[in-house]
Amino acid sequence: MDDDSVMEWIGGNLGSGTTMLYPCTILKGKRSKADHIGVAVATAGQHQDVGAKVIHIGQDSSSTIISKSISKDG
């Protein structure tokens, strides 16, 4: 990402049998920023492996990762 750029990820996992999701952002530019927001919902028989990753290379880069999950009936 270039100087002063912004990457925003918004993800929702709601219904497959097996889910793997790990978005990744590489912050190379000065003052670049990333926001990752993820919500996962699973019921009986579903398997979810989710998260996020940000690699900070650029000077004064910043990020926020928010991940929430709901598990019901198993």
Q: Which domain holds residue 61?
A: 6-71
User: 8-60 pLDDT, tens per residue?
Assistant: 999 988 878 888 889 999 999 999 999 999 999 999 988 888 889 999 999 99
Q: What is the pLDDT of residue 58?
A: 96
The strand pairing partners of 34, in sequence order, are 7, 63
Q: Is 36 contained in some domain?
A: yes
Q: How many domains does the chain have?
A: 1
Query: What sign has the CA pseudo-torsion 38, 44, 46, 48?
Result: positive
Q: What is the pLDDT of residue 28?
A: 96
Q: Is 1 contained in some domain?
A: no
Q: Is 13 contained in some domain?
A: yes
Radius of gyration of the chain (CA): 15
Q: What is the pLDDT of residue 17?
A: 87
